Amino acid sequence: MFAIERLSKIKEILYKQKRVDVVELSELFSVTEVTIRRDLDKLEQEGFLIKTYGGAVINEDSFKNPLAQDYEDSMIEEKRMIGKIAAQMIESGEAVFLGSGTTCLEIARNIKNKKITVVTNDLLIGYELRESIGIKVIVTGGDLIQSTTTLVGGFALQALKGIFINKAFIGVKGVNFTSGYTVETYEEVMVIQQIRNISNEIVIVGDHSKFDSTAFARLGDLQMAKKVITNKQVPNEYKKYFFEHQIKLYTTFEFE
């Protein structure tokens, strides 16, 4: 089992049981107690847990945000790595758009020390950046898609008129040779189409589980963006396609 998978499993256990024991985890994963303690150190740095003698307990403060997402996301480590890569692409003084979803949320968590303008249609991203002194945050407003933090509709589209975006980071739910890039609702497509009209550069972000999948609404074909950020586990046929069509593919290998 890779370290990323082990960390994800530890989180699942913490989420369900609220506590973990070093010895028990060591036996469960067939690794040394030293390795488990290093894992717990990393998760404590992320704010997910609080270490105790012989183990750790979940950090309940991480769940007090009323807008908090589900921490059982099986791809959370992959998304965090994508967030780090995307953050390196953003330069001081730029205006960037962060689309909705947990992958773009990880980008937000890695840009808090930059001096930029962030436009977003995700309430949680706006909330995440609320205390970032150097960042001007613009939340579009609009109609809230039920059970999400995503804003769409006429008010969202109106907020995007008369502005210019240097880089737009768009999270997708599906990547497929036939259906192209897809998201969950047509209302999201309308917002992203407007973003495409006002952005100098579109960057697609999505973990490797999105490949060979198709969601409800089509954004465009696989050539709609010249940069894609994903994980190294992306299927080889997509790597070949991106290379042949001069689409830059950034993977998370260097962060593992």
Residue 71 falls inside a structural domain = no
Distance CA 170, CA 206 (A): 8
Residues 137 and 232 in one domain: yes
Cα 79 from Cα 101, distance rounded (Å): 10
Sign of the CA dihedral running 141, 73, 11, 70: positive
List of residues 6+ apart from 148 with CB closer than 8 A: 100
- State which of 14, 33, 63 marks the end of a domain: 63
The pTM score is 0.74
Q: What is the CATH number of the domain that holds 232?
A: 3.40.50.1360
For residue 21, the domain's CATH number is 1.10.10.10
Q: What is the mean pLDDT of the chain?
A: 90
Cα–Cα nearest to 188, from 213, 209, 162, 216: 216
- Residue keyed to tokens 């930059």: 114
Kindly give the interhelix angle for 3-17 and 76-88, rounded to the nearest 10 degrees.
120
Question: Over the stretch 139-165, which tens digit does the pLDDT of each residue have?
Answer: 999 999 987 899 999 999 999 999 999
Nearest to 165 by CA among 132, 130, 138: 138
Count of domains forming the chain: 2
Q: Which residues pair with 169 in a beta bridge?
A: 98, 203
Are 58 and 87 contained in the same domain? no
For residue range 7-57, list pLDDT tens digits in order. 878 887 887 788 899 999 999 999 999 999 999 998 888 777 888 888 998
Interatomic CA distance for residues 216 and 219, integer angstroms: 10
My answer on whether 40 and 134 are in the same domain is no
The range of the structural domain enclosing residue 55 comes to: 3-63
Residue 105 sits in the same domain as residue 44: no
70 domain residue, yes or no:
no
Place 179 in a pLDDT band, splitting at 50, 70 and 90: very high
